[in-house]
């Protein structure tokens, strides 16, 4: 076979033809394909001993490690003829193959740009004198790569930096990408987090050792989340990991970032402008809580021109204007804005609050912040803060399990579930639990009780999918984790963001 001879004659091939094709032949044999009749690139169309349903082949491809043969088989499938269920599996395989192919790209960047930053020196003679001047240019290959791939220089440098990290301190991340366990977007999150770790400059062996150790810790904390969760959940896990690994550095960066605070306006079309305020995370969420509280306050009425059918977004805009500029009556006269009390929810344990330990603190909806910032916030008389325990209180003995005695969820239990789940517990949904509904996983009418194990936060859409569209929660657990079964019978695991 000509193709066989060409491949065997290549000196840059990573593996022999036999090793390259073994995994593919296994997939074909398991699916009922006779390898004796198969040409490599026509594997899906010929040599079938028995009719093989597309779904069976897709399932085999999904179970196989992604490689060139899986990609070849996927390309040979008629996508337009797939059922909606088979198309989902096709896309799962495609995502794994795309991840593997991204790993291949990063591997190729290393020889194109070098494993270590190259610094070339040029000695020039200063005109009109005998003085020599040395010019150093770092990563001179970057422009070649950028020009060849039509990338901006900064983007090309990002690709090079990522490839070097995956070939070194983030080797476990590279392995997960090549295995199709995570996507290149998850990789970008880990690379961004690694860029905030100590020793990231790797200017000497000491810094390199510190950075390598920190990266290993980062991967240990974040990769399990990346392998099962969305990019945004992975980003939150990365933020928690960086805070745990380098709390001092996080505090330093926070102080340095204060100089970037600002307020400015971007004018758009049709009489609309965007007001942007860069401020500390806790201040931003406190302001948003105040705006949201006023927008929901029945005493507050937006201007008459929009009051009849104002959306919540319009009410928030008018609430912000009223808080800053002062509310006005129908005649345009200034009037005191309705006074409301906003709450900023924190997740913090007592030893951390008392500065007895270095535990993590989270502003609900914003993510982790340093305990030092929270202690300052709690002493600020201008901010009302609500702290919520996330475990049953052994001191007061508050009852969190109401069994079959009531259908309506008591307020304490509702607050507990909101604080525990933090977001809607449909896989991948990030709708805040505080803005979701509290749902009985097993319906009350079917014998489900009102307890932490059977309750969870669901946004309106996913509550409706569960009630009317065939989605089911088949296993709901006291820690908020659960198992979903789709109308097609697939199962998906959900775990609440860690506290």
Strands (E), 261-366: 262-267, 273-278, 327-328, 334-335, 344-347, 361-363
pLDDT, residue 479, reads 84
pTM: 0.69
Per-residue confidence at 415, pLDDT binned at 50, 70, 90? confident
The better pLDDT of the pair 188, 490 is held by: 188
Burial class (CB in 10 A: 0-12, 13-18, 19+), 5: exposed
Dihedral sign for Cα atoms in the order 412, 417, 419, 420: positive
The 10s digit of each residue's pLDDT in 206-251 is 989 999 999 999 999 999 999 998 998 899 899 889 988 988 888 8
- Mean pLDDT for 315-333 is 74
Average pLDDT over residues 447-469: 88
More confident position, 170 or 447: 170
pLDDT at residue 339 greater than cutoff 60: no
Across 94-192, the runs of DSSP E, i.e. the strands, are 119-125, 132-138
pLDDT > 70 fraction of the chain, expressed in percent and rounded: 70
**Taking 60 as the threshold, does the pLDDT of residue 400 lie above it?**
no
- Say if residues 390 and 420 touch (Cβ distance below 8 Å): yes
Interstrand relation of 344-347 and 385-387 (parallel, antiparallel or unpaired)? parallel
- Neighbouring residues of 335: CB distance < 8 A, sequence distance ≥ 6: 326, 327, 328, 329
Q: Mean pLDDT, the chain, as a whole number? A: 78
Q: 161-173 burial string, b = 16+ CB within 10 Å, else e? A: bbbbbbebbbebb
**Of 77-86, 169-178, 318-327, which has the strongest mean pLDDT?**
169-178
- Here the contacts of 310-319 (C-beta below 8 Å, separation 24 or greater) are 316/291, 316/292, 319/291, 319/292, 319/294, 319/295
Mean pLDDT of 390-409: 48
Question: Do the Cβ atoms of 463 and 431 come closer than 8 Å?
Answer: no
Q: Is the pLDDT of residue 88 over 90?
A: yes
Helix pair 205-226, 184-194: axis angle to 10 deg: 140
Confidence of residue 380 (pLDDT cuts 50, 70, 90): low
Q: What pLDDT, in 10s, does the model give residues 191-210? A: 999 999 998 888 888 989 99
- Could you tell me the sign of the dihedral formed by the alpha carbons of 324, 280, 283, 380, in that order? negative
pLDDT at 99 over 90: yes
Span of 385-399, 446-460, 463-477, 485-499 with lowest mean pLDDT: 385-399
Backbone φ and ψ of 278, nearest 5°? -95, 115
Do 67 and 93 form a contact (C-beta atoms < 8 A)? no
Residues 6+ apart with CB under 8 A from 353: 371, 374, 375, 378, 387
What pLDDT, on a 0 to 100 scale, did the predictor assign at position 107? 95
Residue whose entry in the numeric block shows the structure tokens 């190729």: 108
Question: What is the per-residue pLDDT across 268-313, written as a single tens digit (0 to 9) for each?
Answer: 888 888 999 998 887 888 888 888 888 887 777 666 554 456 788 8
In the predicted model, what is the mean pLDDT of residues 72-97? 92
Residue 487 has pLDDT above 80, yes or no: yes
Average pLDDT over residues 183-196: 95
């Amino acid at each position: 076979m000509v193709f066989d001879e060409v491949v065997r004659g290549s000196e840059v091939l990573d593996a022999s033809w036999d090793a390259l094709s073994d995994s593919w032949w296994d997939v074909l044999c398991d699916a009922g394909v006779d390898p004796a009749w198969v040409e490599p690139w026509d594997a899906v169309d010929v040599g079938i001993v028995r009719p093989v349903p597309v779904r069976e082949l897709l399932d085999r491809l999904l179970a196989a490690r992604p490689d060139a043969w899986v990609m070849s088989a996927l390309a040979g499938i008629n996508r337009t003829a797939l059922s909606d269920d088979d198309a989902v599996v096709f896309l799962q395989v495609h995502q794994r193959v795309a991840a593997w192919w991204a790993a291949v790209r990063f591997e190729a960047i290393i020889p194109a740009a070098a494993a270590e930053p190259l610094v070339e020196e040029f000695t020039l003679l200063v005109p009109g004198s005998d003085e020599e001047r040395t010019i150093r240019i770092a990563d001179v290959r970057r422009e070649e790569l950028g020009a060849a791939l039509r990338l901006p220089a900064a983007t090309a440098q990002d690709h090079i930096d990522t490839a070097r990290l995956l070939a070194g301190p983030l080797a476990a991340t590279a392995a997960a990408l090549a295995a199709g366990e995570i996507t290149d977007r998850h990789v970008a999150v880990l690379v961004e987090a690694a860029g905030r770790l100590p020793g990231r400059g790797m200017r000497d062996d000491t810094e390199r050792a510190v950075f390598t150790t920190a990266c290993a810790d980062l991967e240990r904390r974040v990769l399990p989340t990346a392998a099962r969760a969305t990019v945004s959940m992975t980003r939150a896990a990365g933020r928690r990991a960086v805070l745990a690994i380098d709390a001092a550095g996080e505090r330093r960066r926070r102080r340095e970032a204060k100089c970037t605070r600002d307020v400015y306006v971007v004018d758009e079309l049709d009489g609309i402008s965007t007001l942007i305020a860069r401020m500390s995370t806790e201040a931003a969420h406190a302001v948003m809580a105040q705006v949201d509280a006023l927008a929901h306050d029945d005493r507050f009425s937006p201007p008459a021109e929009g009051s009849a059918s104002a959306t919540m977004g319009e009410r928030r805009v008018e609430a912000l204007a009223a808080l800053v500029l002062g509310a006005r009556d129908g005649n345009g006269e200034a009037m005191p804005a309705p006074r409301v009390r906003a709450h900023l929810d924190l997740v913090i344990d007592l030893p951390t609050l008392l500065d007895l330990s270095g535990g993590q603190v989270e502003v609900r909806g914003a993510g982790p912040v340093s305990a030092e910032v929270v202690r300052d916030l709690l002493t600020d008389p201008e901010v009302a803060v609500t702290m919520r325990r996330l475990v049953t209180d052994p001191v007061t003995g508050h009852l969190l399990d109401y069994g079959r005695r009531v259908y309506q969820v008591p307020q304490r239990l509702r607050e507990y579930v909101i604080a525990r789940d933090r977001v809607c517990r449909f896989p991948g949904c990030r709708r805040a639990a505080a803005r979701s509904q509290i749902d009985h996983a097993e319906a009350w009418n079917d014998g489900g009780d009102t307890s932490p194990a059977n309750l969870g936060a669901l946004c309106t859409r996913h509550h409706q999918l569960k009630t009317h569209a065939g989605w089911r929660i088949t296993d709901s657990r006291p820690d908020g984790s659960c198992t979903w079964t789709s109308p097609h019978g697939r199962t998906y695991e959900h775990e609440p963001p860690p506290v």
